[in-house]
């Protein structure tokens, strides 16, 4: 979804429980996959939510909707009225959804405009959607691989495409806004995000994605088989608005187990055999370091289906490098 926002009031809601200083939260990209679930999540907590999107689908769980572009300062001035915290999710979510100039310029300009306008309005808490793609493995001229596993926030980026580079720049923008406005900003590195349903209007495509990955584990090798259920993504956003310490932080959030029904070490041996492993990965352990998510945010995924584990069968095509197969066909990636 392009940076956007949605203007009609829908009646007041209560202050978010336990947050005496937060009366209203702005969610940009509120009609997108993560945005829709995030507005639903905040509404269940009793938060007053302003939703900003390019179009109003008419069914967002927000008491105020502003329609417009997240890069437009006049739109942002309207959307930020009465707002104490900002969740910026609006973006063009893949490099093929626009020209290189459009994808990079739109995403980075929106992040700068939203955070800068929020800082000028006195907002001091923000969360932005970064992505595992800030590392640059999926969309570059050639598939990339990490220098080591588990993935962590210290790995250098190999970004060479406009989308991945925009996410890397967004993280730098978050740090600049902390210096510029004293704003605490958490950039959440989301993996594949999809839902298990659970309520009307929530995404329910995750089981289908599990089936795809079980049939072709190479489909998700470039992302280390990471995923996150939509309700967990929304809860990570909530917790990102109250980190344990001030500053600008980049944080991986993911389920603690992989999206594949095979032992992680078998997957790594088959598809990423040359990557250095810094620790064992028993069972279906996800090869990502979630320490910072736990320590800074108090976050651990709760919606983690129990996939019966079975041994990985040998590739039917000898010499086929499944780690590079179908890397451009994908479920939702932030």
DSSP per residue, 28-89: ETTTSHHHHHHHHHHHHTT-EEEEEESS--S--S-SEEEEB-TT-HHHHHHHTTT-SEEEE-
Evaluate if residue 3 carries a pLDDT over 90: no
Q: How confident is the model at residue 201 (pLDDT cuts 50, 70, 90)?
A: confident
Total domains in the chain come to 1
Residue 297 is assigned to a structural domain of this protein: no
Residue 114 is assigned to a structural domain of this protein: yes
CATH of the domain at 73: 3.40.50.720
279 CB-near residues (< 8 Å, 6+ apart): 150
Residue 185 is assigned to a structural domain of this protein: yes
Among 9-13, 135-139, 173-177, whose mean pLDDT is lowest? Answer: 9-13
**212-247 residue pLDDT tens:** 999 999 989 999 999 999 999 999 999 999 999 999
Q: How confident is the model at residue 20 (pLDDT cuts 50, 70, 90)?
A: low
The DSSP symbol for 223 reads G
Q: Stretch 165-194: mean pLDDT, rounded?
A: 98
pTM, entire model? 0.91
**50-86 residue pLDDT tens:** 999 999 999 999 999 999 999 999 999 999 999 999 9
Residue 202 is assigned to a structural domain of this protein: no
Residue 14 is assigned to a structural domain of this protein: yes
Residue 286 is assigned to a structural domain of this protein: no
The residue range of the domain holding 26 is: 8-197+227-252
Residue 221 is assigned to a structural domain of this protein: no
* 213 alpha carbon, distance to own chain's centre: 20
The DSSP symbol for 128 reads E
Instruction: List, in sequence order, the alpha helices (H) in the chain.
Output: 33-44, 73-79, 100-120, 162-181, 206-215, 230-240, 264-271, 291-292
CA distance 99 to 2: 13
Residue 298 is assigned to a structural domain of this protein: no
């Amino acid at each position: 979804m392009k940076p956007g926002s949605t203007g009609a009031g829908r009646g007041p809601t209560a202050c978010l429980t336990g947050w005496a200083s937060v009366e209203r939260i702005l969610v940009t990209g509120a009609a997108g996959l993560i945005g829709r679930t995030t507005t639903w999540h905040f509404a269940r907590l009793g938060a007053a939510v302003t939703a900003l999107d390019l179009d109003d689908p008419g069914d967002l769980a927000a008491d105020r909707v502003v329609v417009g572009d997240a890069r437009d300062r006049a739109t942002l001035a309207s959307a930020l009225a009465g707002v104490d915290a900002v969740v910026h999710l609006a973006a063009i979510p893949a490099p093929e959804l626009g020209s290189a100039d459009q994808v990079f310029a739109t995403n980075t300009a929106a992040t700068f405009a939203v955070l800068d306008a929020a800082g000028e309005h006195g907002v001091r808490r923000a969360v932005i959607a970064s992505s595992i793609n800030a590392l640059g493995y999926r969309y570059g001229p050639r598939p990339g691989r990490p220098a080591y596993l588990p993935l962590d926030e210290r790995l250098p980026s190999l970004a060479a495409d406009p989308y991945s580079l925009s996410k890397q720049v967004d993280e730098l923008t978050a740090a600049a806004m902390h210096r510029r406005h004293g704003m605490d900003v958490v950039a959440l590195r989301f993996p594949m995000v999809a839902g298990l349903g659970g309520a009307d209007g929530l995404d329910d495509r995750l089981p289908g994605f599990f089936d795809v990955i079980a049939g072709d584990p190479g489909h998700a090798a470039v992302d280390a088989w990471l995923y996150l259920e939509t309700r967990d993504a929304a809860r990570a956003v909530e917790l990102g608005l109250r980190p344990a310490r001030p500053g600008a932080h980049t944080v991986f959030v993911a389920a603690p187990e992989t999206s594949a029904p095979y032992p992680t070490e078998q997957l790594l041996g088959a598809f990423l055999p040359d990557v250095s492993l810094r620790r064992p990965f028993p069972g279906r352990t996800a090869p990502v370091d979630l320490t910072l998510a736990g320590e800074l945010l108090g976050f651990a995924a709760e919606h983690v289906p129990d996939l019966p584990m079975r041994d990985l069968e040998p590739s039917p095509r000898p010499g086929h490098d499944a780690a590079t197969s179908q890397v451009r066909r994908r479920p939702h990636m932030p």
